[in-house]
Structure 1
Amino acid sequence: MSQPRYLTGDKAGIQEFLDKFDVFLFDCDGVLWSGDHLFPRVAETIEMLRSQGKQLVFVTNNSTKSRADYKKKFDKMGIPCKVDEVFGSSYSAAVYIARILKLPAPKNKVYVLGESGIEQELASEGVQFVGGTDPALRRDIEPEDFTAMADGSSLDPDVGIVLSGLDFHVNYLKLAMGFAYLQRGAIFLATNTDSTLPTAHSLFPGAGSVGAGLVKAFGKDPLALGKPSQAMMDAIEGRFHFDRSKACMVGDRLNTDIQFGIEGKLGGTLAVLTGVNKKEDFLGEGKEVLPMAYVDALGDLLG
């Protein structure tokens, strides 16, 4: 397998690479920004690609924000973006639940382990939910809670799905309630299973780390609906109608972004080194997940 091509500083190589593709799928955290810090020349790079007639889709595993939330962030960062160009793991999960699973009422309610981004996208698809940001769950577990969950008196009988995402207020009570629903036959889904979240120029526990307690207790992995899940790729293709051979996935994480593009049989993948993985992770012999090319930062595509 040929080694990835290094494009930073190679103006002719960059244009040759860009000319191969009509569509670019972008990860956000670690590629465009880190937390509230926009990486240099990102807005100009996005503008350059649009000027060349490229179709852009922003594909994020961060489940804490809805598409509308992301639109506000793009606006704040000075990057022109339409809500319809954003495809997040929360939206992917909501579409899967509403349009693919289509569980019959009344056993079609979702128990959410996560933030308001998940709730907003479920609501946009007409899916009912409990848990999530409910302030009643942001407390320590009490002895009576164990009894009420064991006999089911504190559980919603209409919950048929447990959806696990990134939850900044996770606690034992929330995990115990999710496990109780799973024991009663609820379908186990996850917005994504990223182990870490890149933000503020560092790494923090991601959605996969938050949901690890449920996985360990239940003994089964959830169906993940974020990158690298091909259920997400199929949904994106169905939404945007593009030729996969003329599409390129741009990301900072090998086991989600780059693997997502490779397994989706996209025409190319581009790694940037401003997030999780460094070049040592994919250069050299014996590396399993290799991008087609890489740059130090997304802004390097300006040449």
Structure 2
Amino acid sequence: MQQNKEGAESGATARAHSFIDSVVLMSSSQGLSCHNFRDLFDSVEAFLFDCDGVIWKGDELIDGASQTIHMLRSKGKKLVFVTNNSWKSRSQYAEKFKSLGISVSQDEIFSSSFAAAMYLKVNSFPPQNKVYVIGGDGILDELQLAGFTAFGGPGDADKTIDWKQNSIFEHDKSVGAVVVGIDPKINYYKLQYGTLCIRENPGCLFIATNRDAVGHMTASQEWPGAGCMVAAICGSTQKEPVVVGKPSTFMMEFLLKKFNLSCSKMCMVGDRLDTDILFGQNAGCKTLLVLSGCTTQSDLQDPSNNIQPDYYASKISDMLDLLEA
């Protein structure tokens, strides 16, 4: 009986500690309200927005997103759109914004496809070397705009492997980097090509646009993200990639130089804790989590979660409502 009593007390103590830890975690994040929004708004010169789950889901605009962006512009705030989705190039994202009724210039967009090209650029990737892409046209377009010779991607979508006895899979020995991003048409051919380049070409770089587990490819569901494709190449090469998307420090450092911004005057707005919020925190930005995408209220309250935003809100249009309150 004494042992049972001690066990019960131990269990109760553990539950109490868990509850206290949860309260402490939640106390570090403030729900956006009329009491704290003005301080945040006045202290910020630039808002960095994630796109999927914040501005849109799939091809559907999230309620109030357009009006909120217009309001922030009218108040003189600098806006930058930072997305880990590498499927599109910056110009393609500008067209998507336009199709949704939002005017955004290409220079305001910072995608992980662009980050991959800029990583090679700033690290003086030899112009005679080629880049093999497991991903979409967005990566290919950005690499070519940066002056690199890139191939693969959608062009290899229908290619197959010949497993005949003693057959040899040929690959280009001049490939000096393999870039892996989201690829809904990934196949064994692409995996083999990328694997051989990384394993057999001396000094070949393995670059991941991001390692997101899932993404909002449609409005109604989450779908496997680039992390799945990256993990496949990690498994076959036994190597870890250079990650250029959020929460990578490279992405933030390049962004700061490009837009001449101060971290203390920026607020990162996103729907993911492990990418968007961590990205902002690593740079010393203010952070706002919106619950319109991947992260739920219960995720935020989970005692095992150690990433806490400064503020959280249901969606970005809460800012519009609070400013007008």
Shorter-normalised TM-score: what interval? Answer: over 0.9
1:13 aligns with 2:41: no
CA RMSD of aligned residues (A): 1.6
Name the amino acid aligned to 1:65.
K
**Which of 204, 211, 216 is 1:198 aligned to?**
216
Structure 2 vs 1, CA of residues 145 and 208 (structure 1 numbering), >3 Å: closer, same or farther?
farther
Total equivalences in the alignment = 293
Amino acid at match of 2:168: A
The match for 1:189 is 207
Q: 1:104 aligned to 126, 145, 149, which one? A: 126
Partner of 1:215: 234
Query: Can you give the 5+ residue segments of structure 1 that lack an aligned partner in the other structure?
Result: none
Paired AA for residue 113 in structure 1: I
- Which string of whole-angstrom CA distances, capped at 9 and with x for unpartnered residues, describes residues 188-221 of structure 1? 1111111111232321000111221111111121
Deviations 1:32-73 (A, max 9, x none): 010011011111100111111110000000000000000001
Deviation sequence 1:99-128 (CA, Å, 0-9, x none):
x2223353x210100010001100110011
Contact 1:111 1:161 in 2 (8 A): yes
Equivalent residues in 2 for 1:56-71 (5 A)? 56-71=79-94
User: CA separation in 2, counterparts of 1:53 and 1:14?
Assistant: 17
Does the 8 A contact of 2:127 with 2:148 survive in 1?
A: no
Q: TM-score, normalised by structure 2?
A: 0.86
2:161 and 2:188 in contact (8 A); partners too: yes
Give 1:166's aligned residue: 182
1:3–1:283 contact (8 Å) kept in structure 2: no
- The residue matched to 1:31 in structure 2 has which SS? coil
Residue type at the aligned position of 1:139: K
CA distance in 2, matches of 1:215, 1:237: 30
Matched residue SS, 1:228: coil
1:38 aligns with 2:58: no
24, 28, 32: which one pairs with 1:3? 28
Change (3 A) 1:145 1:85: farther
Q: Counterparts of 1:289 and 1:269 in 2: how far apart (Å)? A: 11
The answer to whether the 8 Å contact 1:31/1:252 transfers is yes
1:263 corresponds to which of 271, 282, 285: 282
Q: Pick from 75, 78, 90: which aligns with 1:52?
A: 75
1:138 alignment partner AA: D
1:144, 1:88 → 2: CA distance? Answer: 41
The separation in 2 between residues aligned to 1:146 and 1:38, in whole angstroms, is: 53
Larger deviation, residues 280-289 vs 53-62: 280-289
Query: What per-residue deviation string (whole Å, max 9, x for no partner) do you get for residues 143-172 of structure 1?
Result: 2598332xxxx2112101011011111001
Q: Which has a greater percent of helix?
A: 2
Distance (whole Å) between structure 2 residues aligned to residue 155 and residue 146 of structure 1: 16
Letter in 1 for 2:207: L
After TM superposition, the runs of 4+ consecutive aligned structure 1 residues lying more than 6 A away are none
CA contact (8 A) 1:191 1:224 kept: yes
Confirm or deny: 8 A CA contact 1:166 1:207 kept in the other structure.
yes
Which structure has the greater CA radius of gyration?
2
After superposition, give the CA deviation of every residue in 1:70-109 in whole Å (9 maximum; x if it has no partner).
00010011112111000000001101112x2223353x21
Question: Aligned partner of 1:201: which letter?
Answer: S
Q: Secondary structure at the match of 2:66?
A: helix
TM-score, normalised via structure 1 length: 0.92
Would you say the 8 A contact 2:288–2:311 is kept in 1?
yes
**8 Å contact from structure 1 (residues 63, 191) kept in 2:** yes
1:228 Cα offset (Å): 0.2
Describe the shift of the 1:34–1:285 C-alpha distance in structure 2 as closer, same or farther (beyond 3 A): same
* Aligned-partner Cα distance in 2 for 1:172–1:274: 35
**Structure 2 counterpart of 1:292, which letter?**
D
C-alpha distance in 1 between matches for 2:275 and 2:84: 9
From 264, 268, 271, the counterpart of 1:249: 268
2:9 equivalent in structure 1: none
Give the alignment partner of residue 114 of structure 1, picking from 135, 149, 169. 135
Letter paired with 2:155 = D
Matched residues in 2 for 1:114 and 1:147: separation? 26
Query: Following superposition of structure 1 onto structure 2, how do residues 264-283 of structure 1 map, counting pairs within 5 Å?
Result: 264-266=283-285, 268-283=286-301
Does 2:311 match 1:296? no
Percentage of identical aligned residues:
40
Name the CA distance, whole Å, in 1 between partners of 2:304 and 2:271. Answer: 20
